[in-house]
Amino acid sequence: MDAETARMVVIGIAAVLALIWLSALQVMILATRDQGSPAQETAERFGVVEQESASTIVGEAEVDGLPEELSRKLATLLARGAMGPFGPVKILSCDPEEVVFEASEPSSRISPIRHGRFRMFRSGSRTRIDYALDSPSGRTLLKVGWILLALGLAGLLAGIWLQFQLVLPSPSPQIRGQSVQMLQAIHLIWPPFLLAYLSRQPRRLAQARMEALVNNLPYAR
Q: Where are the domains of the chain?
A: 3-31+139-199, 38-136
Put simply, whether the predicted model's pTM sits higher than 0.75 gets the answer no
Residue 7 confidence (pLDDT): 84
Residue 177 confidence (pLDDT): 79
pLDDT at 169 > cutoff 50: yes
Distance CA 76, CA 111 (A): 20
Residue 52 confidence (pLDDT): 45
pLDDT at 22 > cutoff 90: yes
130: nearest Cα among 207, 42, 219, 205: 42
38-136: CATH architecture: 2-Layer Sandwich (3.30)
Q: What is the CA radius of gyration of the chain?
A: 26
pLDDT at 69 > cutoff 60: yes
Where does the pLDDT of residue 112 fall: very low under 50, low under 70, confident under 90, or very high at 90 and above? low
Residue 183 confidence (pLDDT): 85
Greater model confidence, 38 or 169? 169
Give per-residue pLDDT as tens, 70-97: 999 999 888 888 777 677 888 898 998 8
Q: Choose from 88-97, 105-114, 130-139 the range with maximum mean pLDDT.
A: 88-97
Residue 54 confidence (pLDDT): 52
Where does the pLDDT of residue 46 fall: very low under 50, low under 70, confident under 90, or very high at 90 and above? low
pLDDT at 109 > cutoff 50: no
